[in-house]
Structure formats: C-alpha cells, structure tokens
Structure 1
C-alpha cells in the first residue's frame, strides 16, 4: 500500500491491546466531546476505486471533516483530521474513535493526535457496532448518493457529487430520528446558541 509522504507503519503496540474508550456509548452532552472517523470505497469508471475519509461529531451527527482521494493512505486521514481541527474547538476531553486500519494505527496519526491532545479509541476487530453512527452514515451515503449512480464516470464527478451530498444535503437537510427529527446543522446551531446564552 502506498503511503505518500507519511508512513503507515503501525506502532509496536499490538492492535488487540488498543483501547475501546466508547464501548458503544455514543451519548454526549455537547459538541467536540466524541468524534468518529472512517473511510469508504467509491468506484469510478476511469480512476478505479477512490476513497472517502470522514469525521463526524457524535453530538450533532454532522460530518465536520472529509477528504476524497485516489489513494487510501495515512495522508488521506491526516488531511481529514487537519481540515476538521481548523474549524473546531478542541477540548481536553475529546475522543476520536476509529477502526484498526493501518492508516489510523500509524505512528504519524498517533503522533498528531497526541499533539492535539485528542484521545484515541478503537473499534474491536470485526465489530461494526463499535462505530454504529458512522456505519449508519455510510449506509445512507450508499443508498442516497452512490447506488442511484451505478458507477461514477471519474474521480472529479464523484468528488462533486459527494461534496454536494455531504455539505448541501446530509448536514443541512437530512433529518435524524436520533436528533429528534432535526438536521445536524440545526442541532449544532441550537447547541452553540445555548452555550452562548449560558
């Protein structure tokens, strides 16, 4: 697997020993307490498989960072992380949850999280329920955005459609029963308004 400018060498700690801090508890009391991250495969005719990397804030279910690339490497997930932290307030209690993929267990990713004072939680191997909210997003993405177009023509076409889906539809218009039938953006606005009034 290519790694671009970053290495994907896993740290010496065995993956089985990495902590699952969430333990399927996705509850929050505010923004920037629990984030979850993952990658998804998107097929194109001309460019083959491309890869969508996303980060979600569990309080609002909003996709707060994403990157799309022709390569599935550590650079991709680091780019997503950097785009996210530019627009969010990092708290001392923030946890990000991922799977045990080599990109997320790489030394580069771990080092950057340490620098940002973000704790890292991991799904158990072969247990999608440990990252259920992100799995739900992927299911919605495939059903509402990807499956209606059997295969995107190329990377550029897929990138444009995914941008529209994430920013214009999913975050702003798609209601969630878990959010009291509000959109992620509505929840974020209400939360920030409440914090300012407190």
Structure 2
C-alpha cells in the first residue's frame, strides 16, 4: 500500500522527500526499503491469500456464500485449499464477508419509557477531600429474565 503510494507520486516529489514526509507523520519507511520492496517477489503468504481470496469471491452467487468462518474453512479444505480458521477469518474481513446469523439478536438492555437519564450530581468530578464524603453508585442494567418457564 505504501509502495503504491510512493510509486504514484515519486516522479513529482522524489522518493526521499516522500519518505521524509511519511516519517514526519508516523509512517517509518526508508527510501532504501521502498526500493527493495519494489523488486522483492511476493511472499508465500501473499500468494496463498490471493488464491483463497479468489476462491471466496467465486462463492458470490452460491449458497456457500452464507457460511460463517468455521463452515467456510471446512468447505475450502474439502475443495483442496490448505486454509486455517484464522486465515479464512482474516480474508473474510478484508473482503467484507459475513456469515448469516440465525435467530434473533438477544437484547440485554431496555431503555426507560421516559428516555431521561439520571442527573450528574458530581459534574464528573469523583475526587474527595476526605473519606466518606462522596458516594457513587451506578445501576444501569435492567434484567429481562422472567423466571423459569
């Protein structure tokens, strides 16, 4: 990503000045590192990730596209891809893929009907000059459990 950025602007600004500007903004890269990165062949991980990305993109219109990380990993292994759960999870995140979630989302907190909040009596200042002068309590959780069915 950084190499592509430098490639785009190096003819106008020069590699060294771009690297200096990037270093000033917290992205540490030396001109020598950039030049080596341009001629370095892709790593084995990059190549394996590219194959897996293509395999996941091919599932767009198939029912398997609804699978989550676990099922998709097993499916890819059955198809002959050497894939780890963490790799499939990472690539699904890069591609913006999510598995379908069954059932309803569990709701844990229900807001009050009036929509009002308790007033801030301390103005967010929790310091005290002596013990037992300031007491603070917070009860924000409302249980929805109705007992045993």
The answer to whether TM tops 0.5 is no
Higher helix share: 2
TM-score by length of 1: 0.21
Higher RCO (C-alpha 8 Å, min separation 6) = 1
TM-score by length of 2: 0.26
Higher strand share: 1
